[in-house]
Structure formats: structure tokens, C-alpha cells
């Protein structure tokens, strides 16, 4: 593997700064809080830290609404703090990735303030302005230019009375979409990215990046399909690559809702000079009722999940996969797909085993490595996330009853993963000395980093081992993937093979015992992680290694 593709044997750790560690007692996590936890992250063994946005922001969507791309929000610290953090991360041999949110800005960004000021402002064309629908009074009900719904409820168009036109926002009304057709917008973004690279950052996680190129003309229909992977997407990414990324040994991962294997292969094929890898969503939608939004949960069909992952494992050939179960937009996987009651530790380990030994770059979301769970929400007042709050309003307006809404939020709200990192069993889990911006999970007395680090059988030490295997075993990085027992509704098993090595990964993803006969050619193999037995206890998992010639 060339030095240029160092990220193929790396593990990325995502920090949601607001909820990670608070150094100054204001109840919100910050950069100096992260600085104080680098020893912990180094002990875990991760290579790259990805920070969710810390730029200046009105925080309508917790920082995914940026009003100054080149400054730090005071709630997180200062530019001097980020410089210190970058140096400290580098001094430990780790790398730092920033979140790049350029499909949209905040409505408080000076670009947008100018753009909305008048129809002939030089920045008018930096965003998407459209007149009212023909025959409608601007601002009147139904006058929106198209029928598109925003990802976070309501119309994707907001009327602006200053100029009597509408602007497009695929997320909240405070996140207007930037117009990437305009070369000045692209130039401004590339210059900003280059300045962050000069500051020392090692790459970018690119927020909803496949929404940048829009398909025109805008017509009624389903926005999600009209807007993803537009006609100039590859051109924009190749231009960004030439202007910013090429030859710098960075890591890039593009978040891409609605992306298919074929498209992802194009986005990540190194010969095309676009991105290193993408985040797909297909596997995240399998536990929703088909055709329904995420708020209609159903039990995870394991057979479908395995088939989907196998399709990505074998379908990405020249490109590269990212691997994840968790992030700041998803509920906690141990509650979602594991058993966070009697088998919390075992099921967290089982999901980790099957994820980390696939082909691709694994992402660990803060708290996942200690088996943090969903939050036991009991009242609507406990929610902070704009998506959840908008959903409550929309569902109530549609006449959905409160208990049904609460069930969907408990299963799916993004706030499940945004409660504070649980460091120890003290008040507020050691996250803050003040009042946390969102409640700490009451289970922190038991589920916390201090306890996990001290216990060699913990989820934490299982993650350490898996990360170590990626660093030391070429087969984990490079081996081919082959799914086993595809139709088994309880077992998740696969092979990794190369010319001279083989690895077998087996996990019982259920609450009952299951048998799996170890193939003969693995007899006498070396157990890399977990415990080997032919009758697997609930959520038992292991990996077995053998050289190809016995």
C-alpha cells in the first residue's frame, strides 16, 4: 500500500465536540475539553480524529449551519485553541479531520446577508432564488416554486419578503443551499479549504456532498431524487481535487445520502481523482418500514443487512468503503440492533467485530467504544435536535398521537447519540462541572470510560484489539470478502482471503444460542479476538486466522 493511501489501514474516531468534554463549565463541550482527552484516544489506538463542526455558527443545527468558515465558535474556543489541538494531535502521531459543510451555509453568513439584500446584489446568485409559482401571490399558501419537502420537515423553500422571492434550503430554513453553479462560490470554498490545510488539518469529512450539483430546471416531484448526484457532481469534485486536495496525503470522506454502489465506485476510484471514500446510507434504512421516513421503525432484517453489506464489500473494487454503525445522526447501535439490557457488553462487541473486520475504513463514534446506549426519553421537553423538534410539530399537526410520536423519537431521534460522553460515575458523568446542554444518560453510573478502561473484558478493550488487528494484520485491510450463511437470520459470518492468508469472522447476533461448525481448513487456526466455540452464546463473536497453506 502506498503512503498516499495510509487511510486504508486507519481507524477514524468521530468527536461531537458539543457533547464530548467541557473544560470551562458552561455545559457545552469545547476544544480544550478535547485536548484534555487525547491520552484516552491514543490509548484506544485510533489514527484520525474527525471533529463535527466547530466553526462560528448560530447553532440552529448544532454547527452544521456555519456563519464563518474561518473562525471558531466562541462556545467551542478560539483559533489559538484549534491550532494547539492540531499540534497536540500531530505530536501523538494522530491526524485531525474537519467537517466541511458547503452544500449550505447559515442564514447569518455574510454571503447570505448580501445575497438576500437585493435582487441585483453581486452575491444574489450565490444561493438559489426563485419567484413564486406562476399565478400565485408571492408568500401566499401554495406559492412555493416547487412542492419539495426539506429533510427536516416543511417546505424546502422559504419566502423572503425583502425581495419577494424564495430561497432553497434542503435542511432547516436557516441553512440556505449555496449555488455551486457559480464559479465564485467554488473558488471561495477552495480558498477556505486551502487555508485550513495550511493550518495543519489532515482532511475533510464532507457533509451531504453529493447534493452540491442540482438538476435543473426545478420541477415538482421528489426533491431527494431530483437533488442528489446532479449532473456536475463529478466535475465539481475533480475540480476540488485539483484545486485543493491532490498530492497532500489527506483523507477525504463524502457523506452521500441516496448513493448507489455504482456511483460510489465512481466517486472513490483513485483513477478519477475525486474522494477516498463515501458514507452510504442504504444499510441505515433497512430497519424503517419500506417507503416510509426514518420515523417508522421496524425490526432490523439481518439477512437484508448482510446482503446489503456484502453487495458493497464486493461491489467497490477500485474504490474504497467506509464502515460505520454510528454517528451523530443515528441512534446508538447497541440499543438499535443489539440488546442494551442483559447483553449490552456482548452485543456491542458483536457489532464491533463484524464491522471492524470488513474491508474499508472503520469509523467509531464517541461513546460507541464503551457501549453507550440510547437515552430513556420520557418527555418532549428533553429533546434539543431541530430535526426531532420539527418532527414533533409536523406529526402533531398531522394528528399522530403523542405516544406514537414518542416511540418514534425514542427509536430514532438524533439526540440519542448526542447526550454527553460518559467519562466516569460522578455527577454529569464527568462531562461538565456546570449544567449540561442536554441531559446525561442516567446509566453513566455503570456505563462510563473509567470503568471500561479498568476492565479488561470491557467493550473498550475489544475495540482496542480490533483497531490493533487492522494495524497489524494485512488481511484485515486487503483481504477479499465473502459472505457465509447468507440466509441465516441469526448468524453474521464471513471470510476474508488473500493469496496466503485467511480469516473467518463469526458472530451470533441474537439472544439465543446458535451453532456454527468451524470449517475444517480453519482447524488449529489462531483466535484473533473473542472466544471460539461451535455453540455460540447469545452475541458471542470471534475471528479466526489461518495461513492459506494450513
The catalytic residue positions are 207, 255
**Sequence-separated contacts (24+) of 398-404 with Cβ below 8 Å:** none
What the block records as the C-alpha cell of 283 is: 444499510
In the complex with ligand GLC, the residue whose CB is nearer, 391 or 522, is 391
Alpha helical stretches, state H, 1-58: 31-35, 38-44
204 sits near ligand GLC (criterion: CB under 6 A): no
Q: Which is nearer to ligand GLC, 30 or 60 (CB)?
A: 60
Q: How many residues interact with ligand GLC (rule CB under 6 A)?
A: 9
CB of 394 to ligand GLC, least distance (A): 16
Cβ-contact 15, 34 below 8 angstroms = yes
363 is an interface residue for ligand GLC by CB under 6 A: no
Which of 49, 54, 208, 395 binds ligand GLC (CB under 6 A)? It is: 208
**Binding status of residue 207 toward ligand GLC by CB under 6 A:** yes
| Rounded Cα gap, residues 189 and 102, in angstroms | 7
Shortest gap between Cβ of 135 and ligand GLC (angstroms)? Answer: 33
Is residue 89 at the binding interface for ligand GLC, with CB under 6 A as the rule? no
Residue with cell 435542511: 171
Question: Is residue 171 at the binding interface for ligand GLC, with CB under 6 A as the rule?
Answer: yes
Q: Whose Cβ is closer to ligand GLC: residue 205's or residue 266's?
A: 205
Map the footprint of ligand GLC across residues 326-345, applying CB under 6 A: 328-329
- Shortest Å distance, C-beta 207 to ligand GLC: 5
Pairing assessment for the beta strands 480-484 and 491-497 based on DSSP bridges: antiparallel
Q: How far apart (Å, rounded) are the C-alpha atoms in residues 272 and 239?
A: 11
**Cβ nearer to ligand GLC, comparing 206 with 354:** 206
Would you say 104 or 462 has its CB closer to ligand GLC? 104
Question: Pattern 177-196, binding to ligand GLC, x per CB under 6 A?
Answer: --------------------
Of 72, 85, 101, 245, the one binding ligand GLC (CB under 6 A) is 101
Contact 198, 248 (CB under 8 A): no
Nearest residue (CB) to ligand GLC, 186 versus 328: 328
Instruction: Print the SS3 string covering 200-242.
Output: CCCEEEECCHHHCCCCCCCCCCCHHHHHCCCCCHHHHHHHHHH
Closest distance to ligand GLC from the beta carbon of 224 (Å): 13
Cα pseudo-dihedral 195, 200, 206, 207, rounded to 10: -80
Cell reading at 369? 467504544
| Rounded least distance, CB 328 to ligand GLC, Å | 6
Tell me, letter by letter, the H, E, C secondary structure of 456-485. CCCHHHHHHHHHHHHHHCHHHHHCEEEEEC
**Cell numbers describing residue 377:** 426519553
Q: Give least dist CB 347 to ligand GLC, A.
A: 25
Give the binding site for ligand GLC (CB under 6 A).
61, 64, 101, 171, 207-208, 255, 328-329
Amino acid at each position: 500500500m502506498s503512503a498516499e493511501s495510509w487511510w486504508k489501514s486507519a481507524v477514524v474516531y468521530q468527536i461531537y465536540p458539543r457533547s464530548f468534554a467541557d473544560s470551562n463549565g458552561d455545559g457545552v463541550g469545547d476544544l480544550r475539553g478535547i485536548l484534555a482527552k487525547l491520552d484516552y484516544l491514543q490509548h484506544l489506538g485510533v489514527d484520525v480524529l474527525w471533529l463535527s463542526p466547530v466553526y462560528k455558527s448560530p447553532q440552529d443545527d448544532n454547527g452544521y449551519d456555519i456563519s464563518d468558515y474561518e473562525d471558531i465558535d466562541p462556545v467551542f474556543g478560539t483559533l489559538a485553541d484549534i491550532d494547539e489541538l492540531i499540534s497536540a494531535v500531530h505530536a501523538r502521531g494522530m491526524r485531525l479531520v474537519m467537517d466541511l459543510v458547503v452544500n449550505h451555509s447559515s442564514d447569518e453568513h455574510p454571503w447570505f446577508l448580501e445575497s438576500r439584500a437585493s435582487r441585483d446584489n453581486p452575491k444574489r446568485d450565490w444561493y438559489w432564488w426563485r419567484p413564486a409559482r406562476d399565478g400565485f401571490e408571492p408568500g401566499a399558501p401554495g406559492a412555493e416554486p416547487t412542492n419539495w419537502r426539506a429533510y427536516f420537515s416543511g417546505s424546502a423553500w422559504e419566502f423572503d419578503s425583502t425581495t419577494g422571492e424564495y430561497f432553497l434550503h434542503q435542511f432547516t430554513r436557516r441553512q440556505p443551499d449555496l449555488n455551486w453553479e457559480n464559479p465564485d462560490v467554488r473558488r471561495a470554498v477552495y480558498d477556505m479549504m486551502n487555508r485550513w490545510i495550511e493550518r495543519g488539518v489532515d482532511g475533510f469529512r464532507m457533509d451531504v456532498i453529493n447534493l452540491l450539483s442540482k438538476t435543473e430546471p426545478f420541477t415538482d416531484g421528489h426533491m431527494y431524487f431530483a437533488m442528489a448526484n446532479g449532473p456536475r457532481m463529478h466535475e465539481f469534485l475533480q475540480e476540488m481535487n485539483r484545486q485543493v486536495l491532490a498530492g497532500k496525503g489527506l483523507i477525504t470522506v463524502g457523506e452521500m445520502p441516496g448513493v448507489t454502489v455504482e456511483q460510489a465506485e465512481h466517486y472513490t476510484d483513485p483513477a478519477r481523482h475525486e474522494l477516498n471514500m463515501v458514507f452510504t446510507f442504504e444499510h441505515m434504512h433497512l430497519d424503517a418500514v419500506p417507503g416510509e421516513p426514518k420515523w417508522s421503525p421496524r425490526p432490523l432484517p439481518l439477512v437484508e443487512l448482510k446482503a446489503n453489506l456484502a453487495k458493497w464489500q464486493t461491489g467497490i473494487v477500485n474504490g474504497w468503503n467506509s464502515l460505520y454503525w454510528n454517528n451523530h445522526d443515528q441512534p446508538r447501535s447497541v440499543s438499535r440492533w443489539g440488546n442494551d439490557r442483559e447483553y449490552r457488553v456482548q452485543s456491542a462487541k458483536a457489532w464491533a467485530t463484524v464491522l471492524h473486520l470488513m474491508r474499508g475504513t472503520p469509523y467509531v463514534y464517541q461513546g460507541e467504544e464503551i457501549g453507550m446506549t440510547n437515552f430513556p426519553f420520557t418527555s418532549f421537553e428533553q429533546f434539543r435536535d431541530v430535526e426531532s423538534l420539527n418532527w414533533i410539530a409536523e406529526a402533531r399537526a398531522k394528528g399522530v398521537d403523542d405516544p406514537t410520536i414518542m416511540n418514534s423519537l425514542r427509536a430514532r431521534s438524533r439526540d440519542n447519540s448526542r447526550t454527553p460522553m460518559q467519562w466516569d460515575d460522578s455527577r454529569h458523568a464527568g462531562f461538565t462541572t456546570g449544567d449540561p446542554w442536554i441531559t446525561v444518560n442516567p446509566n453513566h453510573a455503570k456505563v462510563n470510560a473509567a470503568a471500561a478502561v479498568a476492565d479488561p473484558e470491557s467493550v473498550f478493550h475489544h475495540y482496542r484489539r480490533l483497531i490493533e488487528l487492522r494495524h497489524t494484520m494485512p488481511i484485515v485491510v486487503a483481504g477479499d470478502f465473502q459472505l457465509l450463511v447468507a440466509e441465516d437470520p441469526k448468524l453474521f459470518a464471513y471470510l476474508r482471503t488473500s493469496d496466503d492468508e485467511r480469516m473467518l469472522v463469526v458472530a451470533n447476533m441474537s439472544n439465543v444460542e446458535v451453532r456454527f461448525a468451524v470449517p475444517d481448513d480453519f482447524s488449529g487456526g489462531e483466535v484473533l479476538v473473542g472466544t471460539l466455540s461451535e455453540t455460540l452464546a447469545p452475541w458471542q463473536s470471534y475471528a479466526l486466522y489461518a495461513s492459506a497453506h494450513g
